Amino acid sequence: MMSPREPGEPGWFQFAIALKDTDTLVGDCALRVDEQDPRVGEIGFTLSRHHQGQGLGTEAVRALLGYVFNTLRLHRIIAVTDAKNTAAAAVLERLGMRREAHFIENVFFKGAWGDEFQYALLGREWPKP
């Protein structure tokens, strides 16, 4: 499948996360606008190991959600995390995302079945700018 050229078009779009002062690349976050219904989407995010634990993940995902809800005006965003990934769950819960599902042994990863959480938030639940 083709990747979209602009964020907000159907498919995954990847954004760089860079430090404000030096423009150093420290990670990425991504938005998938649903191919069937472009009013809903999914986000993902990763920071380089060296830059974790400084609040950058929360800052980046807050900016992404602000863009997705205030600029693109999407109706609903989900995020799926490994149930053992407490850092990722903490980022999403800090930003007000709601844990709506706990999938039991739904993924086979590194030789074992694992659980996942699904988080969600609606545009009307996101604070107005």
Ligand X SMILES: CC(C)(COP(=O)(O)OP(=O)(O)OC[C@H]1O[C@@H](n2cnc3c(N)ncnc32)[C@H](O)[C@@H]1OP(=O)(O)O)[C@@H](O)C(=O)NCCC(=O)NCCS
Q: Which residues bind ligand X (CB under 6 A)?
A: 44-47, 52-58, 81, 85, 87-88, 90-91
Smallest gap from Cβ 81 to ligand X, in A, equals 4
Query: What's the CA gap between 62 and 97, in Å, rounded?
Result: 11
Structure token pair of residue 18: 């860079």
Instruction: Name the DSSP class of 49.
Output: G
- In the bound state with ligand X, the residue whose beta carbon lies nearer, of 7 and 57, is 57
- In the bound state with ligand X, the residue whose beta carbon lies nearer, of 2 and 112, is 112
Report the b/e string of 77-109 with b at 16+ CB within 10 A: bbbbbebeeeebbebbeebebeeeeeeeeeeee
Q: Residue 29, SS3?
A: strand
- In the bound state with ligand X, the residue whose beta carbon lies nearer, of 73 and 96, is 96
- In the bound state with ligand X, the residue whose beta carbon lies nearer, of 59 and 73, is 59
Smallest gap from Cβ 82 to ligand X, in A, equals 7
Report the amino acid identity of residue 47.
L
Instruction: Name the DSSP class of 36.
Output: S
Smallest gap from Cβ 57 to ligand X, in A, equals 2
Smallest gap from Cβ 93 to ligand X, in A, equals 10
